[in-house]
Amino acid sequence: MRIVSTLPSATEIVCALGLERELVGVTHECDYPPLVRSKPVVVRSVFDPQKMTQAQIDQFVREYSRTRKSLYIVDEELLSRLNPDLVITQDVCDVCATSSQVVLEALQKLNHKPEVLTLNPHTFSDVLDDILKVGKATNTLEKAQALVRSLKTRIELVNKPKRAPSVVCLEWLDPLYNAGHWIPELVELAGGRELLGKKAQPSHRIEWKELLEANPEHIFLTICGYDVERTLKELKALKRDWRDLQAVKLGNFYAMNGSWYFSRPGPRLVDGLVAIARFLNGEKPPESVGVRAFLS
C-alpha cells in the first residue's frame, strides 16, 4: 500500500503502526519520527511562519481566510507520480493543516483515484478512534488496537494530584487564545481543572482581563506549532507583565512543546498529558517535553 499523509498527526499514527515504508508522501511540517523528514513533500504552506511574529501570522491568516483561499498548496504533479492507494486528510482546522476539500480538488485531477480517509477529531477519545480508523484502512487494525490499549494504560497509571488545581492552557500569545478541542480533556485526565477551555470546543480569542480574572494556579503555554524555544522567544517579545498572575507568583508557569505534544491529535498527546500531570504534582518531566519558564 502506498500512503500519502497531508497532516503531521496522521504521519505519526501511520509510523506508529509500523508503516514507514508504505508512507510515500508527507507535508513540510511532518518531522516525527525523524525518518519522515526525507519523504517527498506533497503539501506546503503558502507562507513561512518561522520568519513572522505571532501577531503577523494571526493577521496573515485572518486576511487570507477572508479571501477563502487555502493556506496550503498541494503539489499535484508529485501527487500524481506518487500514485497513492490511500490519502489521509483532515477537517479539524484549515489553519493547522490542509483541509480535505483542498486535497479532494487535487485528487480529482488524477487518473487513479485513491481511497481518502478524512480525520475529524475534537476530543481525545476521537483521537483514539482515529488511530483505529487508520488501522482499519491500512489493514493493521490489530496493531492499532494494541496501540490504543497501551495509551489507555499509560493514562490509567498517571499519578493525579490529590485535589484538582486550576489550569489555563494558552494556544496562542499574540493575540491570546485559550486551548480547545482535546487539550481541556487532557488537563482533566491529568488531574487538573481547565478554566477557560472547554472539551471538544475549538480555541477562541480571549482578552487579557479574562486571564487575570481566571487567575489559575498553573499556566501551560501549549502554543500551536511551536516548540519550547520558539515559545519562550515569543513570550519575551511581548510587552506585557505576567507577574500579576498567581501561576507566575507560584512558579507554575510552563512553556511546553506544543508542536509535538499538544497541537497534533496523535499518540504523543499522552506524553503531553503525562507532562501536565507531573507538573501538577510538583515534579519536572524531561526537558524534551516541557521546561519551566521563570519570569523575572
Q: Which CATH number fits domain 162-292: 3.40.50.2300, 3.40.50.1980, 3.30.1950.10, 2.40.170.20?
A: 3.40.50.1980
Q: Which of 104-108, 152-156, 236-240 has the highest mean pLDDT?
A: 152-156
CB count within 10 Å of CB 183 equals 28
Q: What is the largest CA-CA distance in the chain?
A: 61
Q: Where are the alpha helices (DSSP H) in the chain?
A: 8-16, 54-66, 76-82, 100-107, 124-137, 141-156, 183-189, 208-214, 228-237, 246-249, 258-261, 269-280
| Tens digit of each residue's pLDDT (9 = 90 or more) over 141-188 | 999 999 999 999 999 999 999 999 999 999 999 999 999 999 999 999
* Contact predicate 72/102, CB 8 Å: yes
List the domain boundaries for the chain: 3-153, 162-292
Q: What is the CATH number of domain 3-153?
A: 3.40.50.1980
Cα(177)–Cα(261) distance, rounded to whole angstroms?
18
Q: What's the pLDDT tens digit per position in 10-48?
A: 999 999 999 999 999 999 999 999 999 999 999 988 777
d(CA 55, CA 94): 18
Which residues, other chains included, contact 203 with Cβ-Cβ below 8 Å and sequence gap of 6+?
171, 172, 177, 178, 179, 180, 181, 197
Give the global pTM: 0.90
| Residue whose grid cell is 498548496 | 73
Of 83, 93, 142, nearest in space to 115 by CA:
83
Q: Which residue has the cell 508503516?
A: 19
pLDDT at residue 295 in the model:
44
Question: String of b and e for 201-217 (b: at least 16 CB within 10 Å)?
Answer: eebeebeeeebeebebb
- Report the b/e string of 130-151 with b at 16+ CB within 10 A: bbebbbebbebeebbeebbeeb
Distance CA 290, CA 171 (A): 15
Query: Tell me: the pLDDT tens digits for 59-98?
Result: 888 877 777 667 788 888 999 999 999 999 987 655 555 6
Residue 176: strand pairing partners: 173
Q: Identical fold at 3-153 and 162-292?
A: yes
At residue 292, does pLDDT exceed 70? Answer: no
